[in-house]
């Protein structure tokens, strides 16, 4: 009796099994590569969005500071004009009460003395910080305002007040202007509308954070596990501070 071995059939089965295994491994390798590429794209988009958010945050708080400085100077101008009216009345009364003859003091001398006292009073109200010369000239001579923003803000507010003002401005626009700027650069890098702005990020750190999620569709892993695979990415960037000011946002 002879035994017939079907060696050809076994070899064919092995070859098909190896081929099928290679195809499956190819799908898995391709999908893993896609995931890594998508993660890299997602991180790049998150980094770009965070940088844009930090730049917009700086613009936002600078605009708020300039607006507050203008309001403060307008208020000072109104108070100064009221003072000048009082000085004019006081000078007229002094002239009427003086004896006949040359006036013991001219209006310019009287005004200079009163104005100097007035500036000292305002500086005392601001913890004896020196008023910038541009503001003094504006109040004194009513000439076009020419001031350095940095010097002006350090006159009107101390470091804590300035820090609170800056943090408040960023928080007020975190979900509109800052997020829009971040989303714009996320879109340019292929990130869908799944982005969140985090501020403040850490205590004692003036930073803005961005969280993004990028969706991988039509992938092998996607079909095995869920309908869609989200690839998260986070980025944190420092916001430029005003010089010599420690900004702390709670």
**pLDDT 10s digits, 30-84:** 444 445 445 555 678 889 999 999 999 999 999 999 999 999 999 999 999 999 9
Determine the average pLDDT of the residues in 110-125. Answer: 96
Is the residue at 244 inside a domain?
no
**Does residue 48 belong to any structural domain of this protein?**
yes
Structure tokens at 166: 């800056």
In a domain, 250, yes or no: no
Please indicate, yes or no, if residue 60 is contained in any of the structural domains. Answer: yes
> What is the residue range of 84's domain?
13-238
Total domains in the chain come to 1
Would 182 be classed as within a structural domain? yes
2 lies in some domain: no
- Which of 236 and 9 is assigned the larger pLDDT? 236
pLDDT of 199 strictly over 80: yes
pLDDT at 185 over 80: yes
The per-residue b/e assignment along 4-43, b for 16 or more CB within 10 angstroms, e otherwise, is eeeeeeeeeeeeeeeeeeeeeeeeeeebeebbeebeebbb
pLDDT-wise least confident of 176-180, 196-200, 209-213: 209-213
Backbone angles phi, psi at 196, to 5 degrees: -135, 145
End-to-end Cα distance, the chain:
92
């Amino acid at each position: 009796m002879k035994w017939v071995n079907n060696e050809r059939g076994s070899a064919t089965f092995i070859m098909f099994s190896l081929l099928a295994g290679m195809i499956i491994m190819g799908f898995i390798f391709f999908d893993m590569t896609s995931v890594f590429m998508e993660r890299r794209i997602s991180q790049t988009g998150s980094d770009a969005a965070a940088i844009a958010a930090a730049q917009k945050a700086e613009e936002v708080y600078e605009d708020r500071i300039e607006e507050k400085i203008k309001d403060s100077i307008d208020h000072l101008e109104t108070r100064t004009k009221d003072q000048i009216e009082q000085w004019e009345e006081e000078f007229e009364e002094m002239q009427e009460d003086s004896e006949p003859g040359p006036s013991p003091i001219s209006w310019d001398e009287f005004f200079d003395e009163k104005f100097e006292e007035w500036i000292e009073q305002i500086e005392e109200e601001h913890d004896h910080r020196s008023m910038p010369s541009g503001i003094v000239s504006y109040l004194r001579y009513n000439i076009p305002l020419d001031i350095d923003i940095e010097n002006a803000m350090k006159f009107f507010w101390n470091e804590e007040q300035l820090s609170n003002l800056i943090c408040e401005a960023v928080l007020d626009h975190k979900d509109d202007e800052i997020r829009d700027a971040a989303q714009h650069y996320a879109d340019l890098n292929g990130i869908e509308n799944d982005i969140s702005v985090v501020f403040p990020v850490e205590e004692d750190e003036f930073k803005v954070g961005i969280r993004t999620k990028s969706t991988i569709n039509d992938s092998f892993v996607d079909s095995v596990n869920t309908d869609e695979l989200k690839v998260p990415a986070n980025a944190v960037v420092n916001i430029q501070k005003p010089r010599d000011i420690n900004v702390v946002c709670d």
